[in-house]
């Protein structure tokens, strides 16, 4: 099934729902995902999984009341009719919602083509060939490989009785590998909307090299250290900044650690962050879940907080324009930037390591979460390679440690940013296109027994 066939299927569903909605205002959100993965461990493929599912959300509005019902995407016309009738009943019985906004009218969207047939059609045999490369490389070094090769496509369609119609589809590919033996591990991951954007050989090589270097790690006392963070480690931090720092609703409600600081310097002048779904490396949507066209937003420029992202309701409350970052309605969370890009520096990552007299090189973080929202302090653990750097050289591996660190403090203590950018996932959601960076005074709060 190609993109045009998927769009046609959505249009047919919408025609059915409109007929059943009658004199109620109606909004339909149509989400579908097709995902396939090959999972491997101990240099052997042990699972192939393919899943196709989705949801059809029907939201009705009458006056100040609304009701919503979600049903499976493959529902029959009879099931759709029953769902619409249920939504009518919910709407009629609900209390008035004074914050309920009228449905959007027709919108214009920028063209955004991020659908790669080659990636969508990647089959188990082709994924197995990628795994074979990893297994052979690891076997040569008496190491064991585990991980996933995953590809798929997804689509989002939104339509309403006020004339709005939005539809977009995109593809994705990710190759993640953890390499290990009895005394150490290494890790690497590549992702993109096309398989051609991911250098699988390079990811395998990097994971193997880290594992070979990460042998018999030593103990290290907790404390504050200069750290060299890879793009993966930086992206983990940025995912929390996206969720809690740039969400305009959190500023309006006084819950953001950056509240009241628009136009002020909040981070190191080396930090510039934008949200731009139109960057050719990103797979994303030209509209949000409310149907608002997505805008490119400068969030931080040379350390100064320049912008926030708004859904329709928050924009109305704050006398601003929505930026196209809204979530499915009804929603009281706000808006989230999902296509973060951090401006690169001038020197390569190897030069960053060479510039550090005494510090720690972090491969990536694990199980990171918020411990104090008012300062956006996060805590988590290092994973798959923590190394002491002495006089510009990677000296020896050390055991994993737990960190507890204010993001505001960390991004104020950035002293260098690498020029190579990489697209990486955040631990819980989202991700970023970001370079690695050096941060002074990064707080490691305790040792951990966590291996790897």
- State the CB neighbour count (10 A cutoff) for residue 209: 15
What digits encode the pLDDT tens for the residues 352-404?
A: 999 999 999 999 999 999 999 988 999 999 999 999 999 999 999 999 999 99
Q: What is the pLDDT of residue 431?
A: 75
The confidence band for 448, taking pLDDT boundaries of 50, 70 and 90, is confident
Share of the chain above pLDDT 70, in %: 98
Under 8 Å between Cβ of 107 and 164: yes
Rounded distance, CA 205 to CA 135, Å?
A: 11
328: its two tokens: 């499915």
Nearest to 166 by CA among 322, 309, 28: 28
Sequence-distant (6+) residues with CB within 8 A of 143 are: 179, 180, 181, 208, 211, 212
Q: How far apart are CA 339 and CA 157, in angstroms?
A: 19
pLDDT attached to residue 294: 97
Mean pLDDT of 317-338: 92
Region for 391 from its dihedrals, namely left if φ exceeds 0, alpha if ψ lies in -120 to 50, beta otherwise: left
* Residue 228 backbone phi and psi in degrees, to 5: -105, 110
Average pLDDT over residues 44-67: 95
Q: What gap in Å lies between CA 61 and CA 155, rounded to an integer?
A: 25
pLDDT > 80? residue 149: yes
Architecture of domain 3-201 in CATH? Answer: 2-Layer Sandwich (3.30)
pLDDT given for residue 1 in this prediction: 57
| The predicted structure's pLDDT at residue 450 | 64
pTM here is: 0.94
The pLDDT of residue 329 is: 83
Q: Distance between CA 91 and CA 314 in Å, rounded?
A: 23
Strand partners, 439: 227, 414
Beta bridge partners of 382: 365
Stretch among 26-35, 330-339, 356-365 having the lowest mean pLDDT: 330-339
pLDDT for the residue 58 = 97
Average pLDDT over residues 413-441: 89
What is the pLDDT at residue 239? 92
Q: Where are the domains of the chain?
A: 3-201, 217-452
Average the pLDDT over 44-52 and give the result: 95
In the prediction, which pLDDT does 278 show?
96
Mean pLDDT to the nearest integer, 237-246: 93
Task: Tell me the pLDDT tens digit for each residue of 66-125.
Answer: 999 999 988 999 999 999 999 999 999 999 999 999 999 999 999 999 999 999 999 999
Q: What is the per-residue pLDDT across 283-307, written as a single tens digit (0 to 9) for each? A: 889 999 999 999 999 999 999 999 9
Contact 31, 328 (CB under 8 A): no
Burial class (CB in 10 A: 0-12, 13-18, 19+), 445: middle
pLDDT tens digits for 155-204?
999 999 999 999 999 999 999 999 999 899 999 999 999 999 999 999 99
The mean per-residue pLDDT over the stretch 138-145 comes to 96
Enter the tokens of residue 311. 């859904």
């Amino acid at each position: 099934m190609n993109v045009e066939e998927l769009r046609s299927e959505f249009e047919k569903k919408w025609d059915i729902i409109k007929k059943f909605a009658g004199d109620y205002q109606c909004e339909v959100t149509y989400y579908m995902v097709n995902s396939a993965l090959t999972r491997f461990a101990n240099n052997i493929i042990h699972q192939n999984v393919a899943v196709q599912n989705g949801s059809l959300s029907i939201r009705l509005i009458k006056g100040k009341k609304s009701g919503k019902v979600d049903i499976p995407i493959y529902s029959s016309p009879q099931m759709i009719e029953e769902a619409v009738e249920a939504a009518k009943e919910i709407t009629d019985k609900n209390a008035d919602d004074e914050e309920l906004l009228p449905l959007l009218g027709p919108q214009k969207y920028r063209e955004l083509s991020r659908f790669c047939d080659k990636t969508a059609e990647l089959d188990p045999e082709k994924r197995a060939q990628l795994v074979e490369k990893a297994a052979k490389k690891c076997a040569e070094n008496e190491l064991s490989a585990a991980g996933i090769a995953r590809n798929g496509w997804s689509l989002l369609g939104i339509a309403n009785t006020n004339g709005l119609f939005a539809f977009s589809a995109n593809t994705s590919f990710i190759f993640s590998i953890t390499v290990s033996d009895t005394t150490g591990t290494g890790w690497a991951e590549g992702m993109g909307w096309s398989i051609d954007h991911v250098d699988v050989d390079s990811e395998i090589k990097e994971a193997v090299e880290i594992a070979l270097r990460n042998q018999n790690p030593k103990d290290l006392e907790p404390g504050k250290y200069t750290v060299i963070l890879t793009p993966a480690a930086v992206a983990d931090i940025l995912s929390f900044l996206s969720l809690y720092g740039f969400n305009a609703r959190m500023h309006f409600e006084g819950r953001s650690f950056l509240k009241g600081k628009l136009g002020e310097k909040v981070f190191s002048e080396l930090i510039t962050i934008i949200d731009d779904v139109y960057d050719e490396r990103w797979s994303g949507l030209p509209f949000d879940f409310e149907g608002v066209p997505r805008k490119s937003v400068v969030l931080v420029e040379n350390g100064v907080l320049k912008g926030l992202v708004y859904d329709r309701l928050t924009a109305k409350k704050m006398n601003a324009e929505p930026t196209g970052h809204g979530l499915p309605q009804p929603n009281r969370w706000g808006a989230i930037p999902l296509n973060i890009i951090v401006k690169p520096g001038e020197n390569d990552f190897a030069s960053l390591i060479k510039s550090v007299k005494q510090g720690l090189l972090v491969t990536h973080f694990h199980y990171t979460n918020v411990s104090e929202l008012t300062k956006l302090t996060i805590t988590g653990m290092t994973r798959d390679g923590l190394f002491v750097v002495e006089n510009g050289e990677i000296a020896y591996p050390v055991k994993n440690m737990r960190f507890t660190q204010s993001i505001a403090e960390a991004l104020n203590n950035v002293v260098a940013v690498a020029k190579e950018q990489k697209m990486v996932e955040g631990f819980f959601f989202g991700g970023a296109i970001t370079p690695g960076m050096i941060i002074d005074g990064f707080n490691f709060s305790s040792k951990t027994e966590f291996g790897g």
